[in-house]
Chains A and B, each alone.
Chain A
Amino acid sequence: MSNKLINIHNDFHGYNELLKFYNINKDKFFDDIEVILEEWFDANLSALLGGTLDKIQNDGLNSINFIYLSPNIQTILQKNNFLSFYGYNKRDDTYHSTIEYKKFKPSDSRYFHQYLEDDLLNHTRFPNMSDVLHEKISESIHEMFVNAQIHSETDFIYTCGQYFYQRNEINFTIVDTGIGFAKRIQKDLGFEISSSQAITWAMIDGNTTKQGVSGGLGLIILKEFIMNNQGKIQIVSGDAFYELQNKKENIKKLDAYLDGSVISMTFKTNDTKTYNFSDEKEKLNIDDIF
C-alpha cells in the first residue's frame, strides 16, 4: 500500500500527517515502503521526513520508494539535496532558496559549524541583515544543535531550512530521532510526564535534566529572541506540538508519536532592532559578572 502525503505545510496538520505516516510504517520488516508526495511539501520538513524515513528503513531492512512526486516538490527536494539520499540527482539551486538538507552524526560539530557559516549565515541575498541579527540567529541555532548533541541520544541529527525572500524570513529546522523530551526527564529525574508537560517544563528558565551542572538556558534565550524578532518556534516531541508565534504559546496533542524531537525556528530577517544589549545590560550589569 502506498503512503500519500498531500499538502504538507510547516504547521500542526503537516507534522500530524508526517507522524501518522511514520507510526503506520515504523514496525515493518522486509517491506517496500511506497511514498507519494503531492501538491505541496515545505522543504524544511525534509529534516523530519529524512529522520523518520531512516527509522522506517530500519538499517536497510525496508526499502523506501518515492513512486510519485509532484513536479514542484521534486524540484525543491532535488535542490535541497534531500532526494540525493534516495537515488535522485542534485539539481542546481540557482536562486539559492533552499538551505541544504544534511544528516550529521552528533559528534560532527566542526562540519556543522562550517555548514552553518557557508550555507546559511553568509548568504548574500540578505544584504540588509545586521551583524547583530546575524549573531543572534547564529547563536540560537548553535544552542539548539548542541541541545540535540547532548540530550537526545540520537544516531543522527537532521537539518534543513529555507529562505523566504518576499516574507523576509529564514527557517531552520533541527530534528533528532532520539529519546525525546518526556523520556529524557523520566530517565534523568524519574518522573512519568506527558510530552506536553515535558515541553512546558523545558521552556521554563533554568530547567534542566543535567545532573551536577546547571543549564536550561538555550531554549529560553531562543524564546526571548524570537519574541522580540517576531519570528516563530515550533517544537514537536512525543505526541506534543508546541508553537510560539506573535508572543503567544500554544500546545496541542498530535495523533501520532515522534521518537525524538523537532525544533523549527523561523527568523525575521528585516528586523531592525539593534539588539545592542542595552536592556539586558541594565538588567544584568555585565561589568559585574561573577
Chain B
Amino acid sequence: MDRIKIDIFSIVGQKNCTLPEDGDKVFRALERGLKEEKQILISFKNVEKLTTAFLNNAIGKLYKDFDEEKIKQSLSVVELSDSGKVRLKRVVNNAKNYFKNPDRMRESIREILGEDDGE
C-alpha cells in the first residue's frame, strides 16, 4: 500500500503533545514512511495541546535528511485546527531555514557579542 495514515494521538498515547521526546516517536514513523516512498496522512485527531518543541522534533527534523520537494509531495495533514496549522507552518519554515545554514546560530551569537549589551 502506498498510502498510510499516522495517528499522532495513538503514537504519543495522550492528548497533550508537548515534549520533544514524544515528537521523536512521531519522527521515526514519518522517517520510515518517507524512506519507503509512502504517501503519508498525518492525523491530529484528539490532540489538544501542541508545542513547537514537539513539532520541531516530530516534523521539523525531517528537513535535515529529506528534500523539501519530497516532503511536500509525500505529507498531508488532517484534523488540525487553524491555530495548529499556523504553529506547524512556522515550525516548518523555521526548520527549512535552520538546516540550510547550520552555522547560523553561532553567527547570530557573534552578532550579539559584537553589539553593546546594554548593561
Contact = CB atoms under 8 A, between A and B. Distances in A.
The secondary-structure label for the interface of chain B is helix
Interface in A239-290: 251, 253, 276-277, 280-281, 284-286, 289-290
Contact of B113 (A149, A193, A281): A193
Contacts of B50: 139
Contact of B61 (A147, A213, A290): A213
Contacts of B63: 214
A97 interface: no
Interface string B70-96: 011001010000110111111111110
A143 B91 CA distance: 13
Interface residues of B, number: 49
Contacts of B20: 146, 150, 213
Contacts of A277: 82-83, 86
A189 B106 contact: yes
B112 A197 contact: yes
Nearest to B95: A214
Interface string B40-55: 0000000001111110
Task: With a 10 A CB-CB cut-off, give which of B71, B87, B105 has the most chain A CB atoms.
Answer: B105
Contacts, number: 138
B16 to A, nearest CB: 5
Interface string A207-219: 1111011111110
A189 B105 CA distance: 8
Interface of A: 109-110, 113, 132, 135-136, 138-139, 142-143, 145-147, 149-150, 185, 189, 191, 193-194, 196-197, 200-201, 204-210, 212-218, 221, 251, 253, 276-277, 280-281, 284-286, 289-290
Given A113-B16, A113-B49, A200-B118, 9 more contacts: A139-B51, A143-B53, A193-B109, A213-B56, A214-B56, A277-B82, A284-B86, A289-B77, A289-B89
